[in-house]
Amino acid sequence: MREVCVDSVGTQLRDMLENPDPVDEDIFINSGEGDVLGVVISEKAYNFFLEKVEEEEDRIDRETAEEFHRTKE
């Protein structure tokens, strides 16, 4: 993951990042022509996202193992 110090971003972005409860306040960074260049999410939202990805990976692993055991019998 790449990191940027908050001191190196502009005032508008810094104000958005300092929102005390930003879970529902993702920040889309656009090109000025409507193209999304990036998205900033809160640490809380990021951790939630990682948890859901890990849950899905675990579910897929369980299904794969179950399928392996079924075909082996």
pLDDT tens column, 28-72: 899 999 899 998 888 888 899 999 999 999 999 999 999 998 887
What's the whole-model pTM score?
A: 0.60
Residue 22's pLDDT is: 58
pLDDT of residue 62: 95
- How much is the pLDDT for 20? 64
In Å, how far are 57, 60, 61, 62, 64 from 70, measured between CA atoms?
20, 15, 14, 12, 10
Average pLDDT over residues 13-17: 86
The answer to whether residue 26 scores a pLDDT higher than 90 is no
